[in-house]
Amino acid sequence: MKARAIKRADVASLHAKIGKTAPYEANRTLALLSKMFELARRWGFVPDGHANPARDIDRFKEQKRDRWVTPEELPRIAQAINEEPNQSARFALWLYLLTGARKSELLQAQWEHIDWTRNELKLPDTKAGRVHYIPLSSPALALLREIPRVAGNPYLLPGKLPGAHLVNISKPWNRVRTLAGVADVRLHDLRRTVGSWLAQSGNSLHLIGRVLNHSNQSTTAVYARFGEDSVRAALERHGTQIMGAAGLFPVVDAMEEPAPDQKPSP
């Protein structure tokens, strides 16, 4: 169809068709079409007064995912990853967990992007539209040193085609999550796991946003509730210090229960 011939009804029909099985994908497609027609107007593919056919179409209701890998699940996932026969996929899944990088950005990473002196990975083309530097931890560096380099292939995670990077990570991940018994954990949840575990360790939302290369602070705010345990522990220590300074009971380890004779007096 010619761009100017596409009507709102055509876009609405496509949106509804995709939405029967993939509502999130349908909404992303609608947003993409809206941007395409805005650019088409700027570039003269459609007249200035041409109505954007992707506007004023009700999107499917979305529910933000709140799934991440728990400490109880991680050993099973780790074992399943190590048993995955696809070597590149095996390395990729570990790097997701260790760096929190986005899937496409990590798959396109090249050996020349690693600074072995500064121990960091440079991602030159990111969703945020800026270069992102990921500090590499000792486990990540050890993993990278294990990856065999393929002659003529510049990518960390080589694919089947000569000189190409790994593309299909979904099938290996489906095998891993099935074997680990975590069928509801999606690949993107591994990135969310990095943010949630960092939050639970008491790291600030600002730091987490930098690690995950978020452009919008509200995107990082979803991890705020994962830091509640750290806040609770901090207030527990604070309360113990206050009561100790007041002479109501001796200062003790905040994570220990005071003995009966240490309870504050009425």
Element (H, E) at 94: helix 87-99
As a dihedral over the C-alpha atoms of residue 43, residue 46, residue 52, residue 54, rounded to 10 degrees, the angle is -90
**Tell me, what's the pLDDT at 107?**
92
Digit-coded pLDDT (tens) for 240-249:
776 777 777 6
Instruction: Give this prediction's pTM.
Output: 0.67
CB 222 within 8 Å of CB 212 = no
Q: pLDDT tens-digit profile of 75-117?
A: 999 999 999 999 999 999 999 888 888 888 899 999 999 999 9
Chain centroid to Cα 127, Å, comes to 12
Q: Indicate the domain borders of the chain.
A: 1-63, 74-223, 228-262
CATH superfamily of 74-223: Intergrase catalytic core (1.10.443.10)
pLDDT score for 264 = 42
Q: Among 101-105, 139-143, 229-233, where is mean pLDDT lowest?
A: 229-233
Check: CB of residue 48 under 8 Å from CB of residue 41: yes
Q: Mean pLDDT lowest for which of 108-117, 122-131, 140-149, 174-183?
A: 122-131
pLDDT recorded at residue 266: 39
pLDDT of residue 38: 93
Confidence of residue 255 (pLDDT cuts 50, 70, 90): very low
